[in-house]
Amino acid sequence: MSWSVIQASLPAFGAAFWLTLELAALGIAGALGIGAGVSLVQYFRVPGLHQVASVYVDVARNTPLLVQLFFIYYGLPGLGLKLSAPVSGVLGLIFLGGSYMAEAFTGGYNAIPKSQLESGAALGLSPRQLARFIVLPQGLTAAVPGLAANVIFLVKETSIFTVIAIPELTNTALDLIGLYYRSNESLLMLVVAYAIILVPLSWGLTQLERKVRHVTIGA
Amino acid sequence: MSQSGLELLFQGQNLPRLLAGFGVTLRVAAVVLALGLSLGALLGALRTLPNRGLQVVLRGYLEIFRIVPTVVLLFVAYYLLPQLGGLNLSGEAVAVVTFTLWTAAEMSDIVRGALVAVPRHQVEAGAALGLTRAQQLRFILFPQAVPLALPGTINLATRVIKTTSLLLMISVMDLVNVGQTLVEANSHLHPTFAFWLYGALFIGYYLLCAPLSWWAKHIARQRKAVTND
């Protein structure tokens, strides 16, 4: 271990750390938005749209992010759509994450007993009202553990951004290995950097899960 | 123009080379699944034993492999394994070791979950009937735990298949790496080639993983139909 190498690498790792956080945050926010929309479309079987939503979830979940990124970043320019590496990365993360989030939301909605929806419908609630007053308040609570697991998953997936040369943590570590030929130092910093993000995040999400677990879903 | 990119996919040695890369991808996935799922099943069973030290070690192993991104695990193994006693492994062997340990960690949690989900009184009733420990496992625990673990295991298999796309990062000539090589050789003359080639990889991975996902979903739904009225 050489401390001078670690010290010299710190600024680059610092920049990569913030970039990783920024791209992950954008991707996760987008994935939550897409996932929420897609799951509602599927849950209420919106005519015409829910088949599209199902195909999207199926395709996005069953292909690797790396291939999705190559397709977006290298494949789409062939059709005249040129996107920068960070934009491609975030879009890829949203494409992949949206499907995972949709499944987590759906899992939450399905935890609500059918009888509640039937009662709501019998009271004359419209689908919109059923969503607003019955499905969402309870379903979102039940979806929290699945959503939390996806947040962690998506942060880790940003490491794949290195293949389209986005200078995030993994890419920076590999760059520094090439620069100094000191793999142990760079790898140690890389693992520590991910731990600094993921350990507190995972702890915080567990607290959140614990908090919402006490919300009871009426039988 | 757009047609030439697609046609190029089938010209010369392009298709055979892609298929050779696909063979490497399948080989790594198959070996990792065989080793990782068996090791994981064993570790999962060990995690239900009351030994405290063992639990701490196995839980720690799982958490480390869960929290560190697989890409990082792969690079750590790639740079560290050769330093350990001059062990000089090929890229493919490094990937197999890393992915197997990761798969085993994930599998251990699936198996542990399934084993503890079988109600305790079932095994106790077996013991009361005079079944030996082996018989309890053989006739009571396994028949009930295996269906519980199956959907998670199948989904893990699709994750393993998708994870093989990372092989490219340590220069193994897998499907994606061959694809990238072909794109680099051809895309200056045929700008649409990358679109068709990566599109083909996209479809290839989908065709491998989607049926497994459907199967897992089908089993889970069947179970739900049986248990919930």
Taking only the tens of pLDDT, chain B with its 229 residues reads 445 778 888 888 888 999 999 999 999 999 999 999 999 999 999 998 889 999 999 999 999 999 999 999 999 999 988 888 777 889 999 999 999 999 999 999 999 999 999 998 998 999 999 998 889 888 998 899 999 999 999 999 999 999 999 999 999 999 999 999 999 998 888 888 999 999 999 999 999 999 999 999 999 888 877 665 4
Query: Does the beta carbon of B209 lie under 8 angstroms from any beta carbon of chain A?
Result: yes
Q: For residues A212 and A148, what is the distance between their CA atoms, to the nearest angstrom?
A: 12
Query: Does the beta carbon of B180 lie under 8 angstroms from any beta carbon of chain A?
Result: yes
* Residues of chain A where predicted confidence (pLDDT) is lower than 70: 214-219
Q: For residues B58 and B65, what is the distance between their CA atoms, to the nearest angstrom?
A: 11
As for the ipTM of the complex, it is 0.90
Query: Does the beta carbon of B202 lie under 8 angstroms from any beta carbon of chain A?
Result: yes
CB within 8 A of A43, min separation 6: which ones?
A106, A109, A131, A135
Map residue B86 onto helix, strand or coil. coil
CA angle A67, A174, B159 (to 5 degrees): 35
Q: For residues A154 and A162, what is the distance between their CA atoms, to the nearest angstrom?
A: 14
* pLDDT at site A218: 52
Q: For residues A91 and A111, what is the distance between their CA atoms, to the nearest angstrom?
A: 30
Q: For residues B65 and B104, what is the distance between their CA atoms, to the nearest angstrom?
A: 10
CB contact under 8 A, A191 and B5: no
Cα distances (angstroms) measured from residue B222 to each of A55, B89, B215: 22, 44, 11
| C-alpha distance from A206 to closest chain B C-alpha (Å) | 14
Q: For residues B187 and B203, what is the distance between their CA atoms, to the nearest angstrom?
A: 20
Task: For chain B, give every domain's residue range.
Answer: 26-174+211-227
Cα distances (angstroms) measured from residue B127 to each of B72, B85, B139: 46, 49, 11
Burial A31-43 (b: 16+ CB within 10 A, else e): bbebbbbbbbbbb
CB within 8 A of A54, min separation 6: which ones?
A42
* pLDDT at site B211: 97
Would you state the structure tokens that stand for residue A19, as one six-digit string? 């970039």
CB contact under 8 A, B162 and A64: yes
Query: Does the beta carbon of B197 lie under 8 angstroms from any beta carbon of chain A?
Result: yes
Q: For residues A169 and A42, what is the distance between their CA atoms, to the nearest angstrom?
A: 36
Query: Does the beta carbon of B98 lie under 8 angstroms from any beta carbon of chain A?
Result: no
Superfamily of domain A3-213: MetI-like (1.10.3720.10)
Nearest residue in chain A measured CA to CA from B76: A187
* pLDDT at site B93: 94
3-state percent helix, strand, coil for chain A, nearest multiple of 5 = 85, 0, 15
Q: How many other C-beta atoms can be found within 10 angstroms of the C-beta atom of residue A60?
A: 23
Query: Does the beta carbon of B168 lie under 8 angstroms from any beta carbon of chain A?
Result: yes
CB contact under 8 A, B72 and A159: yes
Task: For chain A, give every domain's residue range.
Answer: 3-213
* pLDDT at site B229: 41
CB contact under 8 A, A64 and B71: no
Amino acid at B203: I
* Contact (Cβ atoms closer than 8 angstroms) between residue B178 and residue B18: yes
Cα distances (angstroms) measured from residue A59 to each of A62, A96, A197, B26: 5, 9, 29, 20
Query: Does the beta carbon of B189 lie under 8 angstroms from any beta carbon of chain A?
Result: no
Q: For residues B104 and A56, what is the distance between their CA atoms, to the nearest angstrom?
A: 30
* pLDDT at site A3: 87
* Contact (Cβ atoms closer than 8 angstroms) between residue A164 and residue A88: yes
* pLDDT at site A215: 63
* pLDDT at site B227: 62
**H or E segment and range at residue B12:** none
If we measure between CA atoms, which residue out of A199, A182, A198, A195 comes closest to residue A9? Answer: A182
For the domain covering B26-174+211-227, report its CATH number: 1.10.3720.10
* pLDDT at site B11: 82
User: Where would I find the H helices in chain B?
Assistant: 2-8, 14-46, 52-67, 70-80, 91-117, 120-128, 133-136, 142-163, 175-186, 193-227
CB contact under 8 A, A62 and B210: yes
Q: For residues B103 and B156, what is the distance between their CA atoms, to the nearest angstrom?
A: 8
**H or E segment and range at residue A211:** helix A183-213
Could you say which of B67, B192, B195 has the minimum Cβ distance to residue A199?
B67
Amino acid at A83: L
Could you say which of A61, A162, A183 has the minimum Cβ distance to residue B213?
A61
Query: Does the beta carbon of B5 lie under 8 angstroms from any beta carbon of chain A?
Result: yes
| C-alpha distance from B202 to closest chain A C-alpha (Å) | 6
Residue matched to tokens 């459907």: B214
